[in-house]
Amino acid sequence: AKKLGKNNYQFFTPEMNGSAQTYIKLEKHLRRALEQDEFMLHYQPQVDVKTGTIIGMEALIRWISPELGMVSPADFIPLAEDTGLIVPIGAWVLKTACLQARSWQKIGRPTRVAVNLSSRQFHPVQTQQGSQHPLLNAVLNALDEADLSPELLELEITESILMQHLDSTMELLNTLKNIGVRLSIDDFGTGYSSLSYLKRFPIDILKIDKSFVNDITTDPSDKAIVAAITAMAKQLNLEVVAEGVETLAQLDFLCELQCDFVQGYYFSKPLSPDEVMTVQRQGILV
């Protein structure tokens, strides 16, 4: 134990100490953030370039901490995953996004809402009744509480989620699919997985990662990759959404490659619910 203690001590070099303390502080505040209502969702429009209509909105979490200020999801989602806090936070995201989509539907603007999921949310828990999926309960509760039709909910999962816990994930995704929820693969093309999962899992949508869109106008291999993804998606009857579209030149290339749905700063940054209302009323994107 003494040896372990010594090793532990050595871990805290002055440099490490700073980041470990930051991490502990972040965790302390993150634990209270849900009950203190410090999260909100912003929504980024996904646009059908042929018609100019909004086909969906991706929900992106924001943490406005009184102590820490605005914390990026890139900084706290990994911590939420490590600590397991992503499970209650993820349930809150599902509920809030479904309520929001329902309110858009009520004002005559039915819009699909896409929610990001972490691999941790796919871990089954063992109960006396056997293995259960907290995620399935969270989805069903969110749809039920919002009275939202399942077709208006999309779940964004990553390739790495499909690669872990294969059997239970497959069962869960099939159940969600049967309920009528839509499933998309986020950051498509960046994982190290085999494409055979496109055949095995009930996927509806591929989201082309922005790393392929960034240099699409200058890098022939990025252009070739996007062309291959859209062609394959057509054959497999999947929708394709290109992410991170920032310029008209990128948009032109994507149109030429028959990629019909795009998302990115060129059309809109992620918007607060109030800003969404303004956009919907003014029809800025249409």
Which one of 61-69, 101-109, 154-162, 227-235 is the stretch in contact with Ca ion (CB under 5 A)?
154-162
Contact 242, 208 (CB under 8 A): yes
Using CB under 5 A, which of the segments 67-75, 92-100, 238-246, 257-265 binds Ca ion? 238-246
Q: Is residue 118 within the footprint of Ca ion (CB under 5 A)? A: no
Q: Contact between 116 and Ca ion (CB under 5 A)?
A: yes
Which one among 26, 47, 87, 93 touches ligand C2E, defined by CB under 6 A?
A: 93
Select from 13, 17, 36, 72 the one that contacts ligand C2E (CB under 6 A): 72
Q: How far is the CB of 116 from Ca ion (least distance, A)?
A: 5
Expressed in angstroms, the distance from the first to the final Cα of the chain is 66
Q: Does 73 bind ligand C2E (CB under 6 A)?
A: yes
185-214 positions binding Ca ion, by CB under 5 A: 186-187
Asked if residue 187 binds ligand C2E (CB under 6 A), the reply is: yes
The one of ligand C2E, Ca ion, none whose footprint includes residue 259, by CB under 5 to 8 A per kind, is: none
Q: Which of residues 10-69 bind ligand C2E (CB under 6 A)?
A: 44, 60-61
Pick the closer one to ligand C2E by CB: 18 or 84: 84
* Under rule CB under 6 A, residue 98 binds ligand C2E: no
Indicate the residue among 156 and 159 with the shorter CB distance to Ca ion: 156
- Taking a C-beta distance cutoff of 8 angstroms, is the pair 274, 40 a contact? no
Report, in Å, the least distance between residue 282 CB and Ca ion: 26
Using CB under 6 A as the binding criterion, the count of chain residues that bind ligand C2E stands at 20
Residue 4 binding: pick among Ca ion, ligand C2E, none (C-beta 5-8 Å cut-off by kind):
none
Give the closest residue to 251 by CA, choosing from 269, 268, 267. 267
The answer to whether the CB of 117 falls within 8 A of the CB of 156 is: yes
Of the candidate residues 38, 186, 222, 260, the single one contacting ligand C2E (CB under 6 A):
186
User: Considering only 30-38, 116-124, 165-173, 276-284, which stretch makes contact with ligand C2E by CB under 6 A?
Assistant: 116-124
User: Rule CB under 6 A: which of 128-147 touch ligand C2E?
Assistant: none
Hey, how many other C-beta atoms are within 10 angstroms of the C-beta on 246?
A: 14
Residue with the shortest CB distance to Ca ion: 186
Which residue of 156, 159, 239, 260 would you call a contact of Ca ion, by CB under 5 A? 156
Q: What is the 3-state secondary structure (H, E, C) of the chain?
A: CHHHHHHHHHHCCHHHHHHHHHHHHHHHHHHHHCCCCCEEEEEEEEEECCCCEEEEEEEEEEEEECCCEEECHHHHHHHHHHHCCHHHHHHHHHHHHHHHHHHHHHCCCCCEEEEECCHHHHCCEEECCEEECHHHHHHHHHHHHHCCCHHHEEEEECHHHHHCCHHHHHHHHHHHHHHCCEEEEEEECCCCCCCCHHHHCCCCEEEECHHHHHCCCCCHHHHHHHHHHHHHHHHCCCEEEECCCCCHHHHHHHHHCCCCEECCCCCCCCECHHHHHHHHHHCCCC
As given in the structure block, the two tokens for residue 284 are 């800025």
* Residue 184 found at the interface with ligand C2E (CB under 6 A): no
Binding positions for ligand C2E, rule: CB under 6 A: 44, 60-61, 72-74, 77, 93, 116-118, 186-187, 210, 244-246, 264-265, 270
